[in-house]
Amino acid sequence: MWSLSSLFRRPRLIYDDRCYSCTKSAKAAQFLSRGRIRIAGHYYSQDAKEAKDMIFPQDYDATMMFWLINKAGAHGARSGLPQVFKEILAGVFLEGGGKTTAVIPDACEYRDNRLSCYTPTNVIKRLVRLLSHGATFPFEKN
């Protein structure tokens, strides 16, 4: 039987794929880690849905923040930032994971000829929320 630690030996970043700036940030993390970090969107990725079903309690809304899931556990928002940087450094200095070819759909909704999530106000709101919230779901050591 697989443990969660072994399933996420190569980290996965789950992000809001309906948000332009979140999608760009996730792609940047994947690129900077030389493909080590796999990315999956909260809403459009079956991989993300399966990972969230395995990790989070059924009544927990994991879409409240981005998650970096690695062999230690799931780290969200503020708690996930150091883990993202650690995985980027591991990808640069230890090993890259190879280039991925995942297609990420356009994420933002169009309203009044403007992208709903790409206004300066919304980007600032997302940054404040990112820095003020955090959570960790550690995996049991086997």
Q: What is the DSSP letter of 109?
A: P
Please state the length of the chain.
142
**pLDDT score at 113:** 42
Instruction: Label the pairing between strands 12-15 and 38-41.
Output: parallel
Q: Taking 80 as the threshold, does the pLDDT of residue 6 lie above it?
A: no
What span, in angstroms and rounded, lies between the C-alpha atoms of 142 and 139? 9
pLDDT digits (tens, 9 = 90+) for 92-115: 998 755 554 444 444 444 444 444
Residues with Cβ within 8 Å of 71's Cβ and at least 6 positions away in sequence, in order, are 5, 6, 8, 9, 11, 139
Average pLDDT of 13-32? 91
pLDDT digits (tens, 9 = 90+) for 125-140: 777 777 777 888 998 7
Three-state DSSP at 68 gives strand
pTM for this predicted structure = 0.77
